[in-house]
Structure 1
Amino acid sequence: MNKYISLITFTVFWALFAIIGCIIAICFKERSIIRCCVLLTAACCWIVWLVTFVMQMNPLVGPRMHRPILMAMMSYWKRSYIHDMPDP
């Protein structure tokens, strides 16, 4: 799935959650507290999802390995940077 489609989808989902929650809150006696809880829930859940989504797009820390293992992987895997010929 494209990153923009997933971003828009989840943003619309949490926006609809907040709007529908505010509409449902009108039916209750303590509508201001319920509305506040629904809006805070929607905002916090969206922010948590957004932070997780952005961190997966461009991770700050990648896998770390020792130099001999890295050289072995580059020499034995197909389409490595060292050579294009298959190993004997």
Structure 2
Amino acid sequence: MEVILMIIFVTAFWVAVAKFGPILFSKAPQQDLVRCVCLLTAVCCWLFWLCCYLAQLNPLVGPKLNQNTIKIIARSWDNPISQG
């Protein structure tokens, strides 16, 4: 649930940047260019953040531990290991 809330919160932030960013530069001579730059900046930053955030949720490469190391870690953390 907190993953969804985080994605919604950050998405709302970047939507606000895209919507209200051009207002800061409303008197610029090239208003269309400024709007385009603000919009593209918000979209690229949001997409970069989303890719990094989702990649950390389910990493493709994880630690490779042998069986003895796993047992030592489990014993030190007081977790019973099922004998299988």
- Superposition TM-score tier, normalisation by shorter sequence: 0.7 to 0.9
Percent sequence identity over aligned pairs: 33
Calculate the TM-score normalised by the size of structure 1: 0.79
- Work out whether residues 21 and 38 of structure 1, in 8 Å CA contact, stay in contact via their aligned partners in 2: yes
Shift of 1:69: 1.6
Give the Cα–Cα distance (whole angstroms) in 1 for the partners of residues 80 and 55 of structure 2: 28
Gaps of 5+ in 1: 84-88
Whose Rg is larger? 1
Shift of 1:46: 0.0
- Work out whether residues 74 and 82 of structure 1, in 8 Å CA contact, stay in contact via their aligned partners in 2: no
- Give CA deviations for 1:16-56 in whole Å, capped at 9, x if unaligned: 00101123333211111111111111000000100011111
- Work out whether residues 14 and 46 of structure 2, in 8 Å CA contact, stay in contact via their aligned partners in 1: yes
Give the Cα–Cα distance (whole angstroms) in 2 for the partners of residues 43 and 15 of structure 1: 8
Instruction: Name which of structure 1's ranges 73-82 and 10-19 shifts more when overlaid on structure 2.
Output: 73-82
Structure 2 counterpart of 1:67: 67
Gaps of 5+ in 2: none
Calculate the TM-score normalised by the size of structure 2: 0.82
Structure 1 vs Structure 2 CA RMSD: 2.0
Give the Cα–Cα distance (whole angstroms) in 2 for the partners of residues 41 and 80 of structure 1: 50
Q: Which runs of 4+ in 1 moved over 3 A?
A: 74-77
Amino acid of the structure 1 residue aligned with 2:39: L
Amino acid of the structure 2 residue aligned with 1:66: N
